[in-house]
């Protein structure tokens, strides 16, 4: 007998529950969301171009998705009946490394988008004569 098909509404409900679970159980997910909100505010303030919005949105999505995958793997690894095993530790470490790689790539995107704007503000300040 083929498995019963689930409705899209049920699938989205499960996904929302997973996001809420990640947010409530992982401090780092909340930190990533806070940083994402700050980046969105900075992008709106700087009136970045459409391609920059796209790059920032992809970077934010990549970090949040990596964090959710990491959380899912941690949940499985630390679930009932879980035993300590070197391969399990390796899987947890690799999942954490994926978040680190995604975050580093997001920082690079942020520097590409905001770096020139920041330099344009800071360089004139550095060149200003000292009061005296």
82 C-beta neighbours (distance < 10 Å), count: 11
124 C-beta neighbours (distance < 10 Å), count: 9
pTM: 0.84
- Please return the burial class of 56, using the count of CB atoms within 10 Å of its CB with bins 0-12, 13-18 and 19+: buried
Beta-carbon contacts of 110 under 8 Å, excluding residues fewer than 6 positions away, are: 39, 56, 59
* Closest-CA residue to 61 (of 32, 41, 38, 25): 32
94 C-beta neighbours (distance < 10 Å), count: 11
How does pLDDT run across 51-79, given as a tens digit for each residue? 999 999 999 999 999 999 999 998 888 87
How does pLDDT run across 101-131, given as a tens digit for each residue? 999 999 999 999 999 999 888 888 777 777 7
| pLDDT at 108 (0 to 100) | 98
């Amino acid at each position: 007998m083929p498995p019963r098909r689930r409705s899209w509404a049920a699938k989205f409900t499960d996904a929302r529950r997973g996001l809420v679970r990640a947010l409530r159980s992982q401090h780092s997910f909340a930190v990533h969301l806070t940083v994402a909100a700050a980046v969105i505010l900075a992008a709106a303030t700087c009136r970045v171009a459409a391609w920059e919005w796209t790059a920032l949105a992809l970077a934010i999505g990549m970090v949040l998705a990596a964090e959710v995958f990491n959380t899912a793997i941690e949940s499985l690894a630390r679930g009932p009946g879980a035993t300590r095993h070197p391969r399990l530790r390796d899987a947890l470490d690799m999942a954490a490394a994926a978040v680190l790689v995604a975050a580093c790539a997001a920082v690079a995107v942020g520097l590409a988008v905001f770096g020139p704007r920041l330099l344009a503000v800071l360089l004139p300040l550095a060149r200003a004569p000292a009061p005296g």
